[in-house]
Chains A and B, each alone.
Chain A
């Protein structure tokens, strides 16, 4: 027994695991090149999988003749839609996509057949030998065309090609407008954008014919959905499927639903009875898409003279692409998150999600709410100008006081907008500089918010929202087992920090094993910024359970009651004495009679956070909203329309920063992605053919034009978040596009209603304004 307890570490001096900048626990692998992503996994002798894509945007499949391809030496498998047992789709009630098209193709580039061959050349030859007989149908590339009365339906029973329409009204909207001093209405248009994660898609599937077992390693954010979907599409018992997530090079929503190539790789491996590697090109990523839809918004706001919002009326049309995917969630989010940022008492929302013959849209960072937030914040800015109010003062006139229940039954428990506004106002020297900058230079502000995980998961099964296991064995190492997919955001690090903090042990004692269905508990996946909040809470509870085991073991060993044990992490003592045990001795004691210890922690979002009873009300519900405010400073070249972002100041209410280093990095990334969408990114099609399926034509921001971004983390200590934490990776994105266009308005007096703000759009607006100004001047003279 170890009884030397001379150094009892006072809590204040103890090295804490949370609240301090912590490098990623898997960062060394990344900087040394040792991290293995899907394409790096060893696979000697794997067959090469390849996919044949539809050359047309809409057609009936009359026949697919694979006989010539099958006859080529070295071809080991050829599969078509007929080789799958069921369609798929991330939303259980909207599964209308086959991994390979059956009966009809609905977008140019849709997978129709696939081969596995001994090498790339053979696979290419096999693809070329597949004969497709297609009978073209009229194709629709714009939502309006697909909605036309005489348009052919992409999917049965979807009248007008409307996948989902939403009609929600809360409060007395007409009364709200009647009570307003100023009512304005404006239309906006937003280009479709894509995630642009730098790692290309890929999968490695191993099928063991003797056992009918499939192991899938893939570039996924949601190993569990993938697991479920593989079993469903391949008609396999899910017990025979194993899904392992290697290092993943970003996701941003592209990978939050199972993607066609994953099921195709599985089918090829099974058909070939072996190992198949599928490497997708960058162009394939763009075709697989799942990005943010092209969106049209009509927004009407009513406002009192003091800036108080009295009513909101919003109509949104999204060009959803050819299949359901996350579509209905996207269109619901767009309406739901009109609430919960400001106090709005009367809101009407009409949303239409439309099927078109373009690659399917899906979830993208800031899912559903980014474009609507631009419209909203842009109108707040222009109406502030009309009312002669400072844009920050206007926002202050509409603040929420938590706890607050929105009209659409969302629960706000913590709310950092006041602190966020105060910080960006100070940091940007808003008061001194706004309105005093030289022409061509401007400041703009916007606020934003987002969920920390959807309080009702997509697959509602009655299980807890998150489960974490902790293992302790003779060696004294603590292994945290989680299904949560770290895709670069640092979730594994955060979970280790949380557990280490509860146990008061150094982070070095922790190991994390994540996202291997054979080892780790099911997790709903890395989407809607749920992991820190939900899985963090589960990790906290697992650690508390383990702490309980350890304290009890120490108490028994020291022959005192557990209440008398003062736990200090690497050691514990009997309160008020020198008697104690080193951690290693506690571990030994804990294993007596029971052997190695495994505990579980679970967490579920409280029912009051799960939204109201209305159809679709679960979308937007969360146990914790994050908040952000940002000021963007721009300079605008009035001769070319080129906009340069000079500086960004952003304050993000993340509740509590468990890892301030990673939280700051997430905010940087969100701003950068918002900037790409706001300034330059745009997927374009010609007759359904993507015009920019590469990083030269679809240009992501580079280091050269990226601005300095000053981040301030506001800590409101959310009552439900782990240690008070909320999400940090999405909320700030929404604010960038409006802060940018508001800054452009400040700089040159134009209000852009179409994004991205490319130089041609900016210049057109500048020229139009000049013309109008001249006309007004002439009129005034005459």
Chain B
């Protein structure tokens, strides 16, 4: 099995790890302790593994770790800073955008990517941006409300 050294910026820190050539990004990230990255399906069906690669949402379960060499990877673990949850995290917590929580990290990362592009998206845009993140618990109502609440908080800040 061929291995290589992989350089990535993970959650703001440069690191270099030995990985298998065929290692998936989801396994690599979980392997270095970032278990907030979830896997809910067998390949690219549910969005639970969504992380940001150079700011864009990416399904880590169908991304070869080697293919993002040198890029910036962000996971759910990067959002809370100095013991403070990000606006999205706080909103998902307070508005019950999370029930069982399994889809939540991926959902929040997709929403994060959207809000970076677009600070005040319409409901339609929110739903479209989250269209690849499946949630079985919430019917999405409170997820949409959570994202809207985070936008309102940002606008008010």
Contact = CB atoms under 8 A, between A and B. Distances in A.
Interface stretch (A21-29, A172-180, A324-332): A21-29
A30 interface: yes
Given A198-B40, A281-B42, A35 B101 contact: yes
A31 B98 contact: yes
A371 B48 CA distance: 31
B127 to A, nearest CB: 4
Interface in B93-107: 93-105
A23 B40 CA distance: 24
B141 A708 contact: yes
Secondary structure of the A contact surface, majority rule: loop
A36 B37 CA distance: 11
A256 B99 CA distance: 18
Interface of A: 23-24, 26-37, 39-40, 195-200, 247-250, 252, 281-283, 487-490, 661-662, 664-665, 668-669, 671-673, 675, 694-696, 700-704, 706, 708-709
A298 B46 CA distance: 37
Contacts of B128: 703-704
Contact of B41 (A250, A694, A704): A694
B40 A200 contact: yes
A371 to B, nearest CB: 20
Contacts of B131: 702-704
Contacts of A665: 96, 99, 137-138, 142
- What are the 6 A-B residue pairs with the smallest beta carbon separation, nearest first? A33-B36, A488-B100, A249-B102, A30-B101, A672-B139, A33-B76
Contact of B136 (A28, A250, A694): A250
12 contacts: A23-B93, A23-B96, A37-B102, A39-B39, A249-B100, A249-B102, A250-B99, A281-B42, A665-B137, A672-B139, A701-B140, A702-B140
Given A673-B136, A709-B141, A695 B35 contact: no
B127 A199 contact: no
Contacts of A37: 38, 102
Given A30-B101, A31-B108, 11 more contacts: A32-B79, A34-B36, A40-B30, A197-B102, A198-B134, A199-B102, A661-B96, A665-B142, A695-B41, A695-B45, A695-B46
Given A695-B45, A703-B144, A706-B139, A662 B79 contact: no
Q: Which of A198, A200, A487 has the most CB of B within 10 A?
A: A198
B139 A197 contact: no
Interface in B105-136: 105, 108, 126-128, 130-136
A128 to B, nearest CB: 18
Contacts of B94: 23
A672 B101 contact: no
Q: Which of B94, B137, B139 has the most CB of A within 10 A?
A: B139
B58 to A, nearest CB: 16
B85 interface: yes
B115 to A, nearest CB: 15
Given A695-B134, A703-B133, A198 B103 contact: yes
B139 A668 contact: yes
B22 to A, nearest CB: 11
Contacts of B100: 30, 197-199, 247-250, 487-488
B14 interface: no
